[in-house]
Amino acid sequence: MADWIDAEGYRANVGIVLMRPDGQVFLGRRVGGRGWQFPQGGVGRHETPEDALFRELKEEIGLDRNAVRLLGATREWLRYDLPKRYRRRGVDSFCIGQKQRWFLLQCTQTELSFRFDATNEPEFDQFRWASWWDPVREVIFFKRPVYVQALHELSSLAHPAGLPPYPEWWEPQTAAVMPA
């Protein structure tokens, strides 16, 4: 499936926040121990973000649509730039970063069986459940501002009683990237 890269050089992508009823969120360890992150993946040129969400959910962690309930999504695309060493230059495209629609899913089953081998190139080799803000600290540095934005925007759906408290490690510069 061809990536959808817009005229400004941003690859369309979906991000998935999978949450248990107790509020813990899924984090996958990238193959080879290259950090932890939420599931995410590209949106095909003729695919809706919601279709890409459920395709990526199946490919990356082996879950079917019936294992989750869609609680909501970010209103707009959230963007991040890739450091120059990660940028792709192709004959027909130039990718400077990603624009992502983030989706919040809640598990509908108490026992989930994750599979990381549903694709020829697995993204993850392990998983763990984490508190709401921990992914901000765990993800690679250039994705942190988008994680903060997505978690803030989705927090009212995940935690209707109020924003989860910030952890002790939360730094003022982390708060500076939060939307107003």
**Mean pLDDT for the stretch of residues 63-77:** 96
Helices and strands per DSSP (H, E), number in the chain: 4, 10
Q: Identify the weakest region by mean pLDDT among 29-38, 43-52, 169-178.
A: 169-178
3-state secondary structure 112-130: CCCCCCCCCCCCEEEEEEE
Distance CA 172, CA 43 (A): 33
**What's the topology of domain 10-176?**
Nucleoside Triphosphate Pyrophosphohydrolase (3.90.79)
Instruction: Give me the amino acid identity at 170.
Output: W
Q: For residue range 84-131, what is the model confidence (pLDDT) as tens digits?
A: 887 876 656 678 999 999 999 999 988 888 999 888 889 999 999 999
Q: How confident is the model at residue 45 (pLDDT cuts 50, 70, 90)?
A: confident
More confident residue, 22 or 176: 22
Q: How confident is the model at residue 176 (pLDDT cuts 50, 70, 90)?
A: low
% residues pLDDT > 90 (the chain): 70
Q: What is the model's pLDDT at position 106?
A: 97
**Mean pLDDT for the stretch of residues 15-37:** 95
